[in-house]
Every structure is written in C-alpha cells, then in structure tokens.
Amino acid sequence: MTDIPATDDAVLRVTDLRTHFPVRSRGVFPKTIGQVKAVDGVSLSVAPGETLGLVGESGCGKSTTGRTVLRLIAPTSGTIELDGTDITRMSAKQLVPLRRKAQMIFQDPYNALNPRHTVGTIIGAPFEVQSVSPPGGVRAAVQDLMARVGLNPEHYNRYPSEFSGGQRQRIGIARAVALRPKIIVCDEPVSALDVSIQAQIMNLLKDLQDDFGVAYLFVAHDLSVVRQISHRVAVMYLGHIVELAPRDSLYSKPLHPYTHALLSAVPLPDPRAQANREQIRLSGDLPSPINPPSGCVFHTRCFRAEDRCKAEVPELRELLPGHTVACHFPMFDLEVGTVIRGPQGEVSELDAPEVRPPSEVIADVVESGGLARATGVDYVTGPDATPPD
Amino acid sequence: MSLTVVEAPSGAGDPVLGRSLRQIVWARVRRDRVAMTCLVILIGLYLVAILAPAICAVIGVDPYSFDSASISDMGGGPVGPWGGISREHPLGVEWGTGRDIFAQLLFGLRISLLIATSATIITVVIGTVIGIVSGYSGGKTDAVFGRIMDLTLAFPFLLIILALSGVLTQRLTSLGVPEGNPSRITYMILVLSVFGWPYLARIVRGQVFSLREREFVEAAVAMGASKSRILFVEILPNLWAPILVYATLTLPTYIGTEAALSFLGIGVLPPDTSFGAMLASSVSYFSVVPSYLFIPGVLLVTLVVTFNLVGDAVRDALDPRAGRR
C-alpha cells in the first residue's frame, strides 16, 4: 500500500493487519466453523507526536485494531512495527522491554483500575514491572505524575473507589505516561465520561502530547471528539479502513460515501439548518464480519453502489493531498477535480456539517435565543439559568 | 462502598488515607454485635484449646488418668448426680474409666480444631491456586483441571475414606509420620482437604473468568507484567471476599465431618479423644447419663454456630450491596 503517507521514522507502522477470531462449534470436541474478521487488512502509520484518530461505528474493529497493535490480541497476519522493531511474532518475554514504548488508556475508568490497589500502587506498577527506578524513588515519581495529571499527590494511598470517573481516568492516564511511552493507544478514553469532564480529559491529553511528544492512536466513535484532537483521521468500516486523511480535509471534503453518511448524521447546532439539511440514512444493518460482503464491504448499504462494487475490492488511493479513500465511486469528480456533495452526485456549495464541542454549541444557541424560542423557556434569565442536557 | 468523602484535587491539605479492604471489613464487623460476640467466643475457644494442658493443670484434672473412686464398683457408672459432677470433676467422669470429662473436652477441642483448621488452610491454598490458574489459563489447562475436579467430586467420599483408612494410615506411618494418632490425624486432614478443594476451586475459577476480562488485567499485560504478577498481585486481592467467606463456612463443616468420621471409628483412638469420639462413646449411656452426650454436643453446636455466624458477618461486610445501613 503505497498510498499511505508514511514517514520513515513512524513510531507505529501497521501493514495489512488482520485479526480474525475463530468461531467454534459447541460440544466436547469444538471445531472451527468460521472466522470473525474483526480487522481485515488494515494499514496505517503514526508519526512521533502525531494523533491518528480511528473512527467507525460499533463493531467495525477499531478497538480490536488498537489492542492488536499492542499485541494484547494476537494478530492473524500482517506486520506491526513499533519504533522500527517488528513485534508481530515476538514472544511475550521478548515483548516485555518494548512494552515501555507503547501504552494504553482504556474506555471504562471503573474497570481499568484494580479496585484492591491504591492509586500509588496502580501508577507505580509500570516502574515496578519494568524494573525502572526513577531518580528520587518511585513514590516521588508517582506523586509527580499525579500532580501532572491534575490529581492531589496526597491521595497516594487512596483506592480507586474513592475517586470520580474523571479522576479515575486521570489515574489511568498517569499510569500510561509513567514510563514516557512513544505511543499511547487511547481506546475511547472519554466516551464513558460526561461532556464537561470529556473536555478536561481531552485538554490533558493534548497537554501531555505537547510536553512529552507522545503519539496517540485515538480510537473513538464520536466524530467531534476525534476532530478536536486528531492530526489525521482514519475511518473504519467492517474491519477495513475506508478513508484516511488529514483532519481538515476529511471533515470538509469527505470522499467516501460512508464518511459522508457519518458526517451527515452529526447533529447541527442550528435547528433550522438541521431541519433543512439533507441527511443520509444508511439502510440495513452492519453486515456480519463472519461473512462479509464480497467486493467493497460497504456496497450493501452504499447509495452509490454499482455492480463493480460487488465484485472488486477497492484499493486505497490518494485523490487529494494525503487524503486516501478506498472507493470505486468516491464523492469526487475525477475529471473536474471537485468534491461531490449529496447522494445524487450533485455539486453544491453547502459546507460540510460543522462539528464543534457541545459546550460552544449550547453557548451559541442560548446566546441567539434559539433555545428560548424552541422551548418557550428563557434559560438565560430563568431561575437557574442552566441549559438542559 | 467507601464512606470517605472524596475531595477536589485542590482540596485542603490534610492527608486523608484511603481505607483498605481489611479496614472496611473490620469496621463493619465491629459494628455487628452478634458477630463480635461470636468472634470473642471463637478466640476464647482457640485460646482454651491451645492452653488446654495449662488449664487442666491449674484445675487439677487430666484427661488420661483413671479415677476409680469416682465410679461405682458395680457397672462402672459415675458416682453422684449428672454423670458424677463434683468438685474434682467439673463436668463429671467417663463411664467405666472415671476419666475427667472436662479435661477430655479441652483436649478433644484441641484435636478437632487442629484437624479442621489445618484442613481448611490446605483446602484454601489448593483450591485458590488451582482455581486461579485454571480460570486465567482457560483452554486445555482449564479442561484438565476441570475434569480432575469433576472426578474428585464424583468420588463416593465417605466410602473411600472408610475403606482406605487402614491402608493409608499405615502408609503415612511408613512415610515417617509417628505411628498411632498422629498418623490418623494427618490422614483425616489430608482426606478432608483432598475432597474439599474442588468446591473452592470452582468458585475461584468462576470469579477469575470474569476478572480476567476486566481492563485492569489488560493494563497489566500492556505494561509487561509476568503471569505470576497478574495472577497473584492483580487478580488474587480481588478474590479475598469469596475465599474468606468460603473458609469461615468450611471450617465448621470440617469440625462436623471430623466428629462424624470419629463417630464412625476412623478418628483418634483412646486415650486421646475428639468431639466425635466422645459422642460415639456417650451414646451407649444416653438413657442413664444424658449429660455425657449433651456436654460435647453443646460445645460442638456452639463451635459450628459461632463459626457460621462469623462467616455470615464477614460475607455481609464484604458485600457492598448487602444493603445495610
């Protein structure tokens, strides 16, 4: 795959990665009767200090990709290079020293911390496991980290159950950055938190990236969250990357019909614009990854699908600078070189749906009186002046 | 679960220490009056068992010496009311020999607690280790251990113990365990543990099955932790609740089982005794001297009930959803 913008010093490079899970029959002597193709030929690379967003709907294999590149799940085929070292077939023992370079932040801060360990033990575990003795001792290093991620260092001896969700996520982040890894796989790190906390955690992640130069593989389903933090974004569908592009290019000129549909599903802040705009509703369910469709995996739900899509697997190709898409009929007029908007192939001047943090949106709507008009309640001057969720 | 108030990160400077599981459980048990009473009784019984020789010496009784003065010449029945209760013999004397029942009770308690406690410890260790390894490894290891558990549970426990007691006790003696009662006691401990661990192993295995899917285990793998660290540092602390509850409920069962086995004749031999042995010998005289049956019986019931009540209290204290207070 030559189309992937790759720098030679990529901290993570994944080539044609496949992760298949066997489906076994029940009984005393189980037989493998099929494969769940969770990840089916994914190639990507992450440069030092870069954030690559990985989006897609539930079950598209984005989390599995994240876990496979850390070798938490065994890959079926393909190669994973971490900081120039091929780790695809390494044994668990060989991997141990390399684990320092790649860490993970988990989705559920309630599950990701051992409830029977104190915060000090949890954040200090990487030092202990990797036999790293930081200058000044582990305790000092841990308390430094706690302060760095916005926790009170005096809470060293507390248990995770004594913290709120956002604070627990900070503990998980402190643990992940403890050994100054080169890349952190963030598996939906904010989707379990409420919106105000989400913003804090996103800012913390950005700050840490600025300070330590750590790269993120940022797995999420929330397009606005991914837009905030990513330099480049990859869109996954049924185990395949269908589009990979620099952030602004992807959000303003989505080329794959699937990306287009995803973006059109993001609600607009302005109720009138929301009512007037054309939304693309995908019909049908996500096909089974045990038995994926032939050709382009998206053809069963695609509004632009033609016969060719059922037969031929589309390759990723670069249509705009750094913007690659795997589609036979992208939303792009190849002859004129313009981006097509809308399912009927018309070229319109309408801008791509704007995605902004919800706090801004609420502020805007409240300011313009939109909310008051819409609901008949004046939230700005009302008794508690709090906009509803 | 915790009762401590969480402060904002920028909160006041007084260091508030988090409470460990042990502290939380202890605080809850301490508020439970029934459990505390039972705990005091249990500790008292253990102390009495450990100090039995000293106590007997102080009172001036001993379990081995015959006292022909306290039994009648005809039939060997105890002289005096209630099985010969007197100043010399606080709980009366044994029929036929005149040995002191109070002293026998203390020494019997010693042996019963020794057997039940050792067997429980061995059961817990074997059950926990096999349960954790089996549950975490899954696959073939789990299948092999699973079949071993099935096999052990399917054994006709009582029949085997009774049938093999003679042979295996001799085998233990030939392996270097002192002959006689030490061998018989070792045999009982081994038998109870060997047939007891699968229950705990099953419980632990099930818990580990769900724990190993938790993300903190994945986090440990991602930081390069060894398997033994994952099993015994990450997972084991989360299993103390079921293990502790199982242990406190198993111990009284073992006391009962030991009594039953002694009653059936494979327990300790005279002149030593245990609750079961005392109950067995008292049965013949029940119509004449009921106290001989009731005294060990009451102590056995007390022991089992207090252990169960403490076990219940520990379980309540460990379960955050117990819905108390």
Residue B52 CB coordination number (10 Å): 19
Give SS3 for A252.
helix
> Å from B251 to nearest chain A CA?
26
Residue B121 lies in a domain: yes
CA–CA min distance A158, chain B (Å): 4
Q: Per-residue pLDDT tens for A225-281?
A: 899 999 999 999 999 999 999 999 898 888 898 998 888 888 777 788 777 777 777
From chain A, the residues in CB contact with B2 under 8 A are 159, 161-162
| pLDDT, average across residues A120-149 | 92
In chain B, whose CA is at the least distance from the CA of A71?
B222
pLDDT surpasses 80 at A5? no
In a domain, B31, yes or no: no
Look at B4 and A107 and tell me if their CB atoms are within 8 Å. Answer: no
Give the whole-angstrom CA distance, residue B96 versus residue B71: 7
Q: Does B87 fall in a domain?
A: no
Q: What is the mean pLDDT of residues A96-104?
A: 92
C-alpha A339/C-alpha B104 separation (Å) is 97
Distance CA A170, CA B142 (A): 36
The amino acid present at B39, given as its one-letter code, is L
A131 touches B: beta carbon within 8 Å: no
| Per-residue confidence (pLDDT) for residue A26, from 0 to 100 | 80
> Measured between CA atoms, how close is A364 to chain B, in angstroms?
30
Query: With a CB-CB cutoff of 8 Å, which residues 150-179 of chain A face chain B?
Result: 150-152, 154-155, 157-159, 161-164, 167, 172, 175, 179
Facing A72 at nearest CB: one of B221, B229, B237: B221
Scan residues 200-259 of B and list those with Cβ closer than 8 Å to A: 214-216, 218-226, 229, 234, 237-238, 240
Strand, coil or helix: B149: helix
Stretch A90-109: mean pLDDT, rounded? 91
ipTM reported for the complex, 2 dp: 0.78
| Cβ distance of B238 and A159 shorter than 8 Å | no
Interface subset of A 105-124, CB within 8 angstroms of B: 106-108, 111-119
Residue span of the structural domain in which B57 resides: 43-65+100-318
Q: Residue A185 — very low, low, confident or very high, per pLDDT cuts 50/70/90?
A: very high
Separation in Å, CA of A351 to nearest CA in chain B: 41
pLDDT at residue A341 greater than cutoff 70: no
Tell if the CB–CB gap between B223 and A167 is shorter than 8 Å. no
Q: Would the pLDDT of A137 be above 70?
A: yes
A176 pLDDT band, cuts 50/70/90, is very high
Q: Which of A113, A159, A177 to mutate to test the interface with B (most CBs of B within 10 A)?
A: A159
B18 domain residue, yes or no: no
The rounded distance, in Å, linking the Cα atoms of A82 and A75 is: 14
pTM: 0.77
Question: In the predicted model, what is the mean pLDDT of residues A298-304?
Answer: 87
Is there a contact between A164 and B6 if contact means CB atoms under 8 Å apart? Answer: yes
pLDDT more than 90, % of chain A: 41
- B255: closest CA among B104, B109, B126? B109
What is the Cα–Cα distance from B126 to B147, expressed in whole angstroms?
16
Two structure tokens written together for B135: 């549950």
Q: How far is CA A26 from CA A30, A32, A152, B25, B206, in A?
A: 6, 10, 51, 42, 19
Report the percentage of chain B scoring pLDDT > 90.
Answer: 21
Q: Which of A159, A153, A190 is nearest to A357 (CA)?
A: A190
In single-letter form, the type of residue at position A349 comes to E
Q: What's the pLDDT tens digit per position in B113-144?
A: 999 999 999 999 999 999 999 999 888 899 99
Amino acid B68: pLDDT? 67
Q: What is the mean pLDDT of residues B180-191?
A: 86
Nearest to B223 among A129, A151, A164 (CB): A129
pLDDT at A304: 82
**DSSP states of B82-130:** HHH--SS-TT-B-TTT--BHHHHHHHHHHHHHHHHHHHHHHHHHHHHHH
Under a CB-based contact definition with an 8 Å cutoff, are residues A237 and A298 in contact?
A: yes
* Contacting residues of B for A175, CB less than 8 Å apart: 219, 223
Residues 6+ apart with CB under 8 A from A330: A255, A256, A257, A319
Between B54 and B201, whose confidence is greater?
B201
Are B199 and B246 in contact by the 8 Å Cβ rule? The answer is yes
- The number of CA neighbours under 13 Å toward the Cβ of A283 is 6
3-state secondary structure of A216: strand
Whether residue A241 contacts residue A316, with contact meaning beta carbons closer than 8 Å, is answered with yes
Of B215, B238, B240, the CB nearest to A112: B215
Contacting residues of B for A159, CB less than 8 Å apart: 2, 18-20
Of A204-213, B58-67, B123-132, B280-289, least confident by mean pLDDT is B58-67
- Residues in B closer than 8 angstroms to A167, CB to CB, are 6, 9
Fold annotation for A12-237? Rossmann fold (3.40.50)
- Give the model's pLDDT for residue B7: 44
Asked whether the beta carbons of residue B222 and residue A72 sit closer than 8 angstroms, the reply is yes
Pairwise CA distance, residues A361 & A353, whole Å: 13
What is the DSSP code string of A298-313?
A: TTTT-TT--HHHHH-P
How close A154 comes to chain B (CA, Å)?
Answer: 6
Substitution target in A63, A87, A154 with the highest count of B β-carbons within 10 Å is: A154
Indicate if the alpha-carbon torsion angle B101, B106, B111, B113 is positive or negative. positive
- Measured between alpha carbons, how far is residue B226 from residues A97, A126, A383 in Å? 12, 12, 58
What order of strands is seen across the sheet that includes strand A240-246?
A: A102-105, A183-187, A215-219, A51-55, A232-237, A240-246, A323-326, A316-320
- On whether residue B214 sits in a domain, the answer given is yes
Per the prediction, chain B carries an average pLDDT of: 81
Which of B8-12, B131-135, B295-299 is the least confident region?
B8-12
Q: Which of A170-179, B181-190, B220-229 has the lowest mean pLDDT?
A: B181-190
What crossing angle do the helices spanning B101-137 and B52-59 adopt, rounded to 10°? 170
pLDDT range class, residue B72, cuts 50, 70, 90: low
CA distance, residue A166 to nearest chain B CA (Å): 11
Measured between CA atoms, the residue of chain B closest to residue A147 is: B9
Residue A343 has pLDDT above 70, yes or no: no
Residues of chain A found within 8 Å of residue B225, distances taken between Cβ atoms: 125, 129
At B248, is the pLDDT very low, low, confident or very high (cuts 50, 70, 90)?
Answer: confident
Average pLDDT of the segment spanning B147-155: 89
In a domain, B70, yes or no: no
Residue A307 has pLDDT above 80, yes or no: yes
Cα nearest neighbour of A150 on chain B: B9
> Quick count: other Cβ atoms within 10 Å of Cβ B85?
18
Question: Residue A214 pLDDT > 90, yes or no?
Answer: yes
Give contacts of B17 with chain A, Cβ < 8 Å: 157-158
Tokens of B237: 């602390």
Establish if B91 belongs to a structural domain. no
* Cβ contact B71:B93 at 8 Å: yes
Is residue B296's pLDDT more than 50? yes
What pLDDT is attached to residue B104? 83
Per-residue pLDDT at B17: 53
Structure confidence at residue A292 as a pLDDT band (50, 70, 90) = confident
User: What is the tens place of the pLDDT at every residue in A7-39?
Assistant: 467 899 999 999 999 888 887 777 888 888 899
Domain(s) of CATH 3.40.50.300: residues in chain A: 12-237
Smallest Cα–Cα separation from A233: which of B75, A353, A219? Answer: A219
Distance CA B213, CA A57 (A): 22
A104 contact B CB<8A: yes
What Å distances lie between residue A51 and A47, A60, A170, B186, CA to CA? 8, 20, 19, 64
Using an 8 Å CB-CB cutoff, list chain B residues near A125.
220, 223, 225
User: What is the radius of gyration, based on Cα positions, of chain A?
Assistant: 23
Rounded Cα distance between A216 and A189, Å, is: 11
Asked whether A331 and A340 are in contact (CB, 8 A), the reply is: yes
The answer to whether residue B143 neighbours chain A at the CB level (below 8 Å) is no
Residue A2 is predicted with a pLDDT of: 37
Q: Would you call A129 and B19 a contact, using CB atoms and an 8 Å cutoff?
A: no
Report the number of distinct structural domains present in chain B. 1
Mean pLDDT of chain A: 82
Are B234 and A114 inside 8 Å of each other by CB? yes
Please list every residue in chain A whose beta carbon sits closer than 8 Å to the beta carbon of residue B25. Answer: none
| Domain CATH number, residue B278 | 1.10.3720.10
